[in-house]
Structure 1
């Protein structure tokens, strides 16, 4: 949809001279819509798949119309999901088949494209279910710990700061949320930090960023809170 696939039509439009014909059927031009829907190979793949084709067939020139059909035709009928869910893999394998035929001289038959798409879709949905089951099991095995948020005194705001740091990559993620004494969120933000080799360095940079954020918003009377005991101790008792 972004015209990013380097088919012959778009390559020529960008100033390079290549054969504009589709290398699978010899028709001109090789457009994205032709490759994925209009070529005789694509039409045969869609006909062999479990996906119902639109009345009158796919649109001859509009990839937007064809994708709109694939995205919306199953709405309201969940019973068709298992048959309908393969279409992204069909598009992907049609594109891979085109590239393999051009650059490797290897041609999958239409039947092989359909079977490959169905297998890959099945593997992907199975992986999502396994991951979902793991998440449920892990959540059930973890003790539930509820930390009550303590409101600041009247006239003050509380900024809770969170830090997550990856030792392997030297990356950190930070976030803060500012609430009033009633717990209403006033502001919040998050960002990534790189080149942080130590956890204490990540804590310091992210706490400093949170303080600077308050200053840039001209917000005072703020109590900072978070799992940053070393940082708070260094600020409140620098001599120690």
Structure 2
């Protein structure tokens, strides 16, 4: 029912839809994944999945940069806006970046490509201890159990390979409410026609006040 509802919204709001065979495959994968994650023998807990329950942005550990990412996927015929922003254990912004990805066939591919783009950027900036925070649960599940997502094997293998280039890299699934800065930067790509790749020190000036408020809330 959840996937039918999501496909309905894709038709109404994004002018695209998955084929019936694709939907059935996704349903099977969702059911298999649900049983796997809820199996008493699977040994999966919140420390493994990295699922955060807080509504507000949380500070990373000392010495670790938190990189919030988001992919704003519309449909297969439009660009997808992507963004990441890094902050340290005091909430200070290190860098932020945005870009546009072309012809992503579905949101899952867009999100995984966003993960890879962020990882490559962080590697090139020589950030060695990172927590990547994202708000799309399916991507988190695919990274944890890639064997359950054979349709995305190539992308997941690239993620696993890139992980080896960091001293420490973990993934954390967060609520959308605590990922608002990255989401707004990603949405600005398509909304404002900012298709050119962009990397800058610090945070965007138009979100400066919100970043400060998030930092203050995380220290409460």
Greater share of strand: 2
TM-score (norm 2): 0.41
| Bigger RCO of structures 1 and 2 (CA < 8 A, at least 6 apart) | 2
Higher radius of gyration, 1 or 2: 1
TM-score (norm 1): 0.37
